[in-house]
Homo-oligomer: A and B are copies of this chain.
């Protein structure tokens, strides 16, 4: 028996074909010339081939990737659904499908906090001053004249000025004919403290034109910088780059050791300054601003990164009993720090907790809101140092484990940051072993970013290319699976298709790095939860931070055993929580105070002395884990293969 199938696409194009009963919808679409993505090879795994049955009768063999709400709206997987009558099909645009998938977690967008009020919350502000010119009868000195004008116009009684600014005051006042624009830093957290003069310009600059600040996260692997207009609060540019220190060591320990050598500390400092100043330049170019027009910087980063940035020896961080020189540096000037912003710009390095739980985590807790959560929340920063925080508004515990940079695309042969050209998702056909990839920006692939690596690792495991222990199964019948220089490898993209012309591969060594990274993170949060006697079942939300680009496929992160196996709806992906926290504190002095409170409240649990951690780490060095019972959904998926 034949049925009429009409496919309608978003652009209202309709194509009708006739097919026999029990024809797979995917095949009917193929006949109709409609391209429906099937990255998993028609195995019902990926959910990418979802279409909407608007009228008629179909039978769904599997609804693995569909929610009840999806079913109510008529969604069906084209690869798992057969035609049983005349049907009307709407083919949603592929992108819409991808974004709809419950397994994908979209990074929370950056919006200006609704309650941001420049004139109440911001410590750095621009003010016009009109001074009375001096005469023979009024020979008041320039500096007193400026202070008097400020006192009369703004009620500020104590004003600090640096010598370099004092050196310009006479010329600026005269050039501006006694009308000047000043940028001030208000001591909103301590009204007795003096206000500080940051800049003095010889004309009346529009008081509400953009006033630039930057929020920076110095990751061990990736440095992220947001350029913010402090007047509106808007993030006007977001840029990121590998930390230039990587050339001298991938993890904090090797960085500290290098910095301890003669001249090493100076080199480390210069390298990260070069990275930040490069990002500053790039971000400013985008909005046609100049670096020296940036008046405030708020910096998050782990304790080692902050020490190296400030040229503070970090060797005691590495040696028992693991002590930082400073968890909460004073506010400094850009001149002292070495940033190419305005030299008087205020540089605020946020407070950390301990040697291995730094300001990136306190900022992350702020931006993720763990410290105000009613229910127990787990916050996992999937970065080089794998910090984890567990708690709620009543208590906060934290630990760190050295995960390495694999999930940031470093230390992996074809790894890269989540930027233009990065493969961010991989599906492998279970029969042909051919991959489907999604590339950020859509062009030729250049390499694999963190989410791409997670996706690839999971797919290679589920399709049998890798075994539980991560060994490459060279008996797989595909030219993509081959023996490489460092053991077996899988070719994700042939040289002919790539930007560089070289094959993009996942090697056995890469797999080991990824396994160690995911095992460290998994061991970190599980041991932390055990230590405080919390079951992961009791965790109401898992907030995941990390530099993964725009999306992360939570299911795949669970399948490799990076994240705990729980309802996908409990996961939220927050992206770079550290720079987001730095951004919030850059805007609002109350949030800045909250970070200090968070740092005080957090209890640090040292795992390096904990045998349970090593056991847990070793058990987690498998896909997904030596104890498959901890991953029931993954077990199910493996069985259904």
A residues contacting B by CB (< 8 A) are 134-136, 138-144, 160-163, 166-167, 169-171, 174, 192, 310-313, 315-316, 320-330, 332, 336-337, 354-355, 604, 606, 609
Contact = CB atoms under 8 A, between A and B. Distances in A.
B170 A313 contact: yes
A336 B140 CA distance: 25
Given A134-B323, A323-B134, A329-B166, A316 B142 contact: yes
Contact of A310 (B136, B141, B163): B163
Given A142-B326, A170-B313, A336-B163, A321 B135 contact: yes
Contact of A143 (B135, B322, B325): B325
Contacts of A315: 170
B327 A144 contact: yes
A135 B606 CA distance: 12
Contact of A609 (B136, B161, B311): B136
A261 B265 CA distance: 40
A311 B604 CA distance: 49
Q: Is the interface of A mostly helix, strand, loop or mixed?
A: loop
A170 B322 contact: no
Contacts of A138: 321
A166 B310 contact: yes
A141 B311 contact: no
A163 B316 contact: no
A166 B325 contact: yes
A141 B167 CA distance: 37
A328 B311 CA distance: 34
A616 B169 CA distance: 37
Contacts of A606: 136, 139
Contacts of A140: 323
Contacts of A161: 330
Given A170-B315, A192-B192, A315-B170, A328 B136 contact: no
B134 A321 contact: yes
Given A136-B606, A139-B606, A142-B316, 8 more contacts: A136-B609, A141-B325, A141-B327, A141-B328, A144-B326, A166-B325, A169-B325, A192-B192
A173 to B, nearest CB: 9
Contact of A171 (B134, B167, B313): B313
Contacts of A325: 141-143, 166, 169-170
Nearest to A336: B163
Nearest to A160: B330
Contacts of A144: 326-328
Nearest to A174: B316
B322 A139 contact: yes
Nearest to A316: B170
A354 B139 contact: yes
A325 B171 CA distance: 9
14 contacts: A136-B321, A136-B606, A141-B323, A141-B327, A142-B316, A143-B325, A143-B326, A143-B329, A144-B327, A163-B332, A163-B337, A166-B329, A170-B323, A171-B313
Contacts of A354: 139
A354 B604 CA distance: 58
A114 B527 CA distance: 68
B166 A326 contact: yes
Contacts of A337: 163
A136 B315 CA distance: 16
A306 to B, nearest CB: 11
A529 to B, nearest CB: 22
A337 B316 CA distance: 33
A321 B139 contact: yes
A174 to B, nearest CB: 7
A311 B167 contact: yes
A639 B169 CA distance: 59
A479 B161 CA distance: 63
Contacts of A141: 323-328
Given A135-B321, A313-B170, A609-B136, A328 B604 contact: no
Given A136-B320, A136-B321, A328 B174 contact: no
A355 B139 contact: yes
Nearest to A352: B141
A227 B273 CA distance: 41
In the complex, the 3 A-B pairs of residues with the closest C-beta atoms, listed nearest first: A170-B325, A143-B326, A141-B327
B167 A328 contact: no
A312 B139 contact: no
A311 B163 contact: yes
A61 to B, nearest CB: 58
Contacts of A171: 313
A174 B321 CA distance: 13
Contacts of A170: 312-313, 315-316, 323, 325
Indicate the member of A134, A141, A310 with the most B CB atoms within 10 Å. Answer: A141
A328 B330 CA distance: 26
Contacts of A332: 163
A327 B143 contact: yes
A272 B138 CA distance: 30
Contacts of A326: 141-144, 166, 169
Nearest to A161: B330
Indicate the member of A310, A320, A327 with the most B CB atoms within 10 Å. Answer: A327
